[in-house]
Amino acid sequence: MTGVSYVSSAVSETDRTLDIPVDRQWRFSLGFENEESGKFRWGANYTYADLGDNEVDASNFTGRVAGNFDSVMQMIGMYGSWTY
């Protein structure tokens, strides 16, 4: 199994906060699944997510925070199911 996805930025650069400094997102995934004897199924997957080059310039009651985040995420998953 393979997959590619693109998600545009959820908020404009002027409204971005430090809570979730995410810009546009590209995700690339690979996975496989195996069935053993018709009763047990297992699989694994890997996802790489490029979360964009995010500029933040936010002010609140404690002051101003400005910065640039170059964010990536890597995820590994495994699963199994048993049918009886």
Dist CA 70 CA 22 (whole Å): 9
Provide the pLDDT for residue 79. Answer: 96
More reliable by pLDDT, 12 or 32: 32
- What's the whole-model pTM score? 0.71
Residue 81's pLDDT band, with cuts at 50, 70 and 90, is: very high
Total Cβ atoms within 10 A of residue 83: 8
Dist CA 71 CA 4 (whole Å): 18
The structural domain count of the chain equals 1
Task: Give the structural domain span for 66.
Answer: 2-82
Q: Is the dihedral of CA 55, 65, 57, 12 positive or negative?
A: positive
Dist CA 80 CA 33 (whole Å): 9
Tracing tokens 């925070």 back to the chain, one arrives at 65
pLDDT tens digits along 14-72: 777 677 667 888 999 999 999 988 889 999 999 999 988 877 777 777 788 777 878 88
Both tokens assigned to 10: 């959820």
